[in-house]
Structure 1
């Protein structure tokens, strides 16, 4: 049989006393035979199917019952043992504060370390450090942002000045070209004026003697109308001379 283990016995011994002789695990739904040996119900049924005989796996004594009764006392012991083992494993896995001899129930994600709930001073200091760290991060981000904006401003201003310089240079080149065109056009106009003036003065120089000679002859002939007409023509020719002389150096008379 499987008597109740003594209180305070070693866990390994407890585990051994509460283990099925067939599967060597803690009993699951244990049943007891008339020989007082207990087994997991599933283990015993599988054993009997393989052996094709209803014998006790331990003492080989034949059983007259096809469905042995459940061992409730052993079942309760196994459940209590499993519960205790789970609690022990859970307690061992939880962080423990060696300074305060208490469990650490809080965990800081930022610093990846447990935080003791009862120590208010340390918690306050932890919050302060966290706030300072966040403040430094904010200042650093704004510093980078300001630096970026300053660099962007400088780049934009430099590009604007370069564009202004290029436009001014192109405008200067256009003005110089326009000035050259105006100068060339003025030279052409002056040359044309000189040509026209030269031609005009040449023709006047040719016509003047031909006009004056007949008029002089008419005075000698005593015609009364001729002196007046000839005088007016001579005066007109002299007026034309005075107007044209400043444009040229030819002497007509």
Structure 2
């Protein structure tokens, strides 16, 4: 009978719950790993079946060759199944990796394109900055020229105003001085006439012709 018709439990030792290793058969028809049975007996201090608890006089139970062969066959089948599963998993993983690789390459191309665009944007931003700085310098230069022109114009106009003021002030000064002289002369004449008006008649008649 093929071992595939049995389950793993059918080939498991009741003591260690692992696949039988060197299974031995007791008279009660229960089988155990040889080492598991010896350890169980050593712990108990007497020989009995770990399952049905029947005592036995067998010190060295015979190997269950049929069970050992079945266990070996079962292990081989399981190993082959696991190998086929591993192969299937490997193929699946490989296929997934191919798909992921395609997506990864697409992402890399997209990243490459974005990096190029970023470089272009950086260059444009730098160009805008340089252009703005150049324009700012031009504006400052133009306004500096304008300020210089206005300062020169201001100075020229102030100088012309002061010159005009000086000329007019000098003219007025001369007129004031002339006017003062005339006032002084007229005042002197008035005082002289007033003095002579107070003189006697003969003296008055002698000098009157000097101011008539």
Instruction: Please state which band the TM-score falls in when normalised by the shorter chain.
Output: 0.5 to 0.7
Residue 12 of structure 1 deviates from its aligned partner by 5.1
Aligned to 1:53, what secondary structure does the other structure show? coil
TM-score with structure 1 length normalisation? Answer: 0.48
Separation in 2, partners of 1:85, 1:193: 128
Of 37, 40, 56 in structure 2, the residue corresponding to residue 62 of structure 1 is 56
Note if 1:38 corresponds to 2:12: no
- Structure 2, unaligned stretches of length 5 or more? 178-212
Separation in 1, partners of 2:140, 2:63: 103
- How many matched pairs? 177
Separation in 1, partners of 2:106, 2:7: 54
Residue 133 of structure 1 deviates from its aligned partner by 7.5
1:250 is aligned to: none
Of 90, 99, 102 in structure 2, the residue corresponding to residue 111 of structure 1 is 99
Matching of residues 1-253 of structure 1 within 5 Å: 6=1, 9=2, 11=4, 13=6, 15-27=8-20, 29-32=21-24, 35=27, 37-41=30-34, 43-45=36-38, 47-48=40-41, 51-58=44-51, 60-65=54-59, 68=60, 71=63, 73=65, 77-95=70-88, 106-107=94-95, 109=97, 111-112=99-100, 138-192=112-166, 195=169
Separation in 2, partners of 1:70, 1:188: 141
Residue 54 of structure 1 deviates from its aligned partner by 1.5
Separation in 2, partners of 1:69, 1:161: 106
Higher RCO, Cα 8 Å, sep 6+: 2
CA RMSD of aligned residues (A): 4.5
Quick one: structure 1 residues 130 and 50, their matched pair in 2 at CA, closer, same or farther if it must change by over 3 Å?
closer
Q: Is the 8 A contact 1:37 1:56 kept in 2?
A: yes
Q: Is the 8 A contact 1:55 1:61 kept in 2?
A: yes
Separation in 2, partners of 1:172, 1:37: 117
Aligned to 2:6, what secondary structure does the other structure show? helix
Quick one: structure 1 residues 11 and 174, their matched pair in 2 at CA, closer, same or farther if it must change by over 3 Å?
farther
TM-score with structure 2 length normalisation? Answer: 0.55
- Structure 1, unaligned stretches of length 5 or more? 1-5, 97-102, 114-125, 204-253
Q: Is the 8 A contact 2:13 2:33 kept in 1?
A: yes
- Larger helix proportion, structure 1 or 2? 2
